[in-house]
Amino acid sequence: MSQIEEQLLTEADLDKVEELELWENRAELARVDSWAFLKYFARTADEHDPAHVYKPFPIRGYLRIIDRVFDELQIAYIEKTGQMKLTWVFVGKTLHNAMFQNSRLIADQSENQKKANAVLGRQKHMYRGLVDFAPLFEKSGGPPIAKEVNGKFGSDTELEFPQNNSKIIAIPQGKDAVQSYTWSIIFADELNLQPKSGEGYAAAAPSIGGGGRWFGVSRANGHTWGYFIREGIDYETGKRVGRLLLDSRFVETKPIKPPAHFTEEQQRWYIEKALLDMDDEKFKNIPLLDLIACCPGMRMWQYDNGMPCIQVHYKADPYKDPITTLGAEWYKAERKLVTTQAHWDQHYEIQYDAFVGRRVITNFSIPLHVRKPEYDSNSMLYLSMDFGANCGCAFAHYTKIPDYHAERLSIIDEIYLESSDTHQLAKEVRKRLEGPYYRSWQNNYIRAFCDPAGHIGDATVSDKSLNTSIKILQSVGIYPYTKKFGVPESTEVLEMVFGLILPDGKPAVELHERCIYLIGCCQNLHFPENGRQGYYEKDGKWDHGGDILRYLIKNVFDYIDLAPTGMKQNQERAFEYKRRKYTGEIIGVRRLHNLRRISPQRTLLARRRH
């Protein structure tokens, strides 16, 4: 601008010109700096506030750190509390990558195609929000123009920028869609809701090896593939892969140190201000691990499996951290909305063992079912086994109830092996039989049950030999009995047996207090929040105990719960059972196969087959 032009402009006009030049400089910076792009030009959407279609991107210290994670790491698993805006960070970063870099092929991967399209919809929403800023980018060459399909930017599954030959594609979980392309970046949103997430990552290995990048972001959801990654456990063998390579919790000298005389709230805001006000050069020169160690609610660690893991808890946001006044208000309001502790623990406290779905064994309680039953060598000893990376065995027998014509199933012992295989399980079972249960073993007074899939050679990933799991057990003198039955049917039987009360007023099943794993299974085995009816959550830990109990209960009980269905009086009894099972009163039973009426004299008995 010439000196004459400056003299003709008023002071107000000069301020506008200076502001315009400032924003043009920001636009030029945003082409090469993704954080500047997010900070000045990115617009998000708030599903809870439809009155404001576009909202400025939230500027937080922890989001600036995640921006560096994207720039510096090739692969990363990021676990988070809900509503932490991490998806918007990766939406903005991948959009920026596609717009301003050449020949980029980016994948938005989610549980299904519909959800993947929704993630792509966020990118298109952010792109449309750039329309108001388009003139600012003209000085530096103008913003890339997305390809229009039927009058809209992109299709339901693609957003393409022909000018620089870059494209973003929405794909569902699994390996099929991943194997079709050589990807520059794969962003897996809500990774722990993708049962085939491990397959998808394995399929992405060639792209990663060639220089591509992979980022998985998710909340906790049981013992999924993400859980194995964050715990440093090999997904196939179930074994820990080695030592902890790094952990931000052990950083001794932190680059940001609030004054000691500050209150806790003042120290928290001091850290936030330092993270946001630090100039780019200084910010990028601080090691990422040290930077994460400074931010409350964030943690970074890595095991020998080579996958860096990052945690973003709600305390990383000072507007949600209960230590601040604003955070305490958010916490109080949010806590009121979440009615169950399990839901809060899983989605807000990032606890993988917490579950949201309904418990399978709703009748179980430690005071009622946990006792100290003694081993009776004159009673048939039952063994129930499950194979896999985590395998185990339950030992049980029937205990006669004095003065009553009834028997109680007593689970007297257990074996639970983590990161093991069928060979080791067989050795441990044989050792136990030759030890405390030798009399039953000597008299051949045992019956063993296991998964029918044990007849198949590759049924268990923990056994790499040519032998089947059944043959491995037979090689040590254990000959299990197998029978196929439906999972929903046997799960229902399992639940109802634990609700059965015998004539002495005590339950039909009891567990010895030494059976810590099976007790934990009874407490934690649950149905998924959204899953197939009758199928409990395959979380990699408690589901093994569920299988052990299922094989045992289904094989030894003949009668359970109710008389034949389809008759009015039986429907009333079904309702009565559901009402009375929590009271401890005696309930009726029914035959599982060839249903028929049961005489009153037999309704109190839990019959067995062996």
Helix (H) or strand (E) holding 118: helix 113-128
- 258 and 134 within one domain: yes
Same domain, residue pair 184 and 68? yes
Residue 409 in any domain: the answer is yes
Burial 342-358 (b: 16+ CB within 10 A, else e): bebbbbbebebbbbbee
Q: CB of 578 within 8 A of CB of 474?
A: no
The candidate with the shortest Cα–Cα distance to 200, out of 165, 229, 176, 224, is 176
| 3-state SS, residue 401 | coil
Is residue 93, in this structure, part of any structural domain at all? yes
Same domain for 403 and 283: no
Structure tokens at 430: 């044989």
- Report how many domains make up the chain: 2
Two tokens at 2?
Answer: 């010439």
Element (H, E) at 293: helix 288-294
Q: How many CB atoms lie within 10 A of CB 517?
A: 21
Residue pLDDT, tens place only, 475-486: 888 888 887 777
In the prediction, which pLDDT does 129 show?
85
Rounded to whole angstroms, the Cα distance separating 449 from 291 reads: 54
Residue 586's pLDDT is: 36
CA dihedral 106, 111, 116, 119 (to 10 degrees): -90
| Judgement on whether residues 233 and 371 belong to the same structural domain of the protein | no
CB neighbourhood size of 260 (10 A)? 6
Cβ within 8 Å of residue 540, ≥6 positions away: 222, 223, 224, 227, 228, 238, 389, 390
Q: Which two tokens stand for residue 60?
A: 């937080």
For 242, residues 6+ apart whose C-beta sits below 8 A from its C-beta are: 232, 303, 304, 305
Residues 302 and 251 both lie in one domain: yes
Contact 158, 119 (CB under 8 A): no
**What are the tens digits of pLDDT across the range 214-268?**
999 999 887 788 888 888 877 666 667 778 889 999 998 899 999 999 999 999 9
Residue 590, pLDDT score: 35
Indicate whether 114 and 215 sit together in one domain: yes
Distances (CA, A) of 292 to 67, 253, 296, 304: 12, 12, 8, 20
User: Is 396 inside a domain boundary?
Assistant: yes
Domain boundary among 310, 329, 348: 329
Return the pLDDT at 48.
Answer: 60
**Which residues, at least 6 apart from 572, have a Cβ–Cβ distance to it below 8 Å?**
none
pLDDT at 602: 34
Do residues 108 and 49 share a domain? yes
Longest dimension (CA), the chain: 113
Please tell me whether residue 78 adopts helix, strand or coil conformation: strand
User: Which residues are CB-contacts of 563 (< 8 A; sequence separation ≥ 6)?
Assistant: 570, 573, 588, 590, 595, 597, 598
Q: HEC states along 251-290?
A: CCCCCCCCCCCCCHHHHHHHHHHHHHHCCHHHHHHCCHHH
Query: Where do we find the tokens 């952010």?
Result: 126
Residue 18 within any structural domain of the chain: no
* In a shared domain, residues 268 and 392: no
How many other CB atoms sit within 10 Å of the CB of residue 373?
A: 18
Low-confidence residues of the chain: pLDDT under 50: 1-9, 11, 14, 458-466, 559-610
What are 354's two structure tokens?
């917490």
Domain contains 414: yes
Q: Parallel, antiparallel, or unpaired for β 158-161 and 166-172?
A: antiparallel
Asked if 306 and 429 sit in the same domain, the reply is no
Assess if residue 158 is contained within a domain: yes
Cβ neighbors of 302 (< 8 A, separation 6 or more) are: 244, 245, 246, 247, 308, 309
d(CA 386, CA 451): 6
Q: Which domain CATH number covers 458?
A: 3.30.420.280
Domain that holds residue 406: 366-557
End-to-end CA distance of the chain: 98
Instruction: Report yes or no: 384 and 548 within 8 Å, Cβ to Cβ.
Output: yes
**CB atoms < 10 A from the CB of 386, how many?**
27
Which residue, 311, 325, 218, is CA-closest to 264? 325
Stated as kind and residue range, the H or E segment containing 545 is helix 542-556
Q: What share of the chain is helix, strand, coil (3-state, %, to 5)?
A: 40, 15, 40
Closest Cα partner for 21 from 144, 139, 143?
Answer: 139
Which residue do the tokens 């839901």 mark?
343
Q: What is the pLDDT of residues 289-317, one digit of tens each?
A: 999 999 999 999 998 877 899 999 999 99
Considering the domain architecture, whether residues 158 and 50 belong to the same structural domain is answered as yes
Exposed / middle / buried, residue 336 (Cβ in 10 Å: 0-12, 13-18, 19+)? exposed
Contacts of 545 (CB under 8 A, 6+ apart): 386, 392, 416, 517, 518, 520, 521, 522, 525
Residue 600 maps to a domain = no
Question: Are 281 and 403 in the same domain?
Answer: no
Q: 600-606 contacts: CB < 8 A, separation 24 or more? A: 602/559, 604/406, 604/502, 604/503, 605/405, 605/406, 605/559, 606/406, 606/407, 606/409, 606/497, 606/500, 606/502, 606/508, 606/557, 606/559, 606/560
- Say yes or no: 149 and 82 in one domain: yes
Q: CATH no. for residue 143?
A: 3.40.50.300
Neighbours of 423 (CB within 10 A): 17
Residue 261 domain-assigned (yes or no): yes
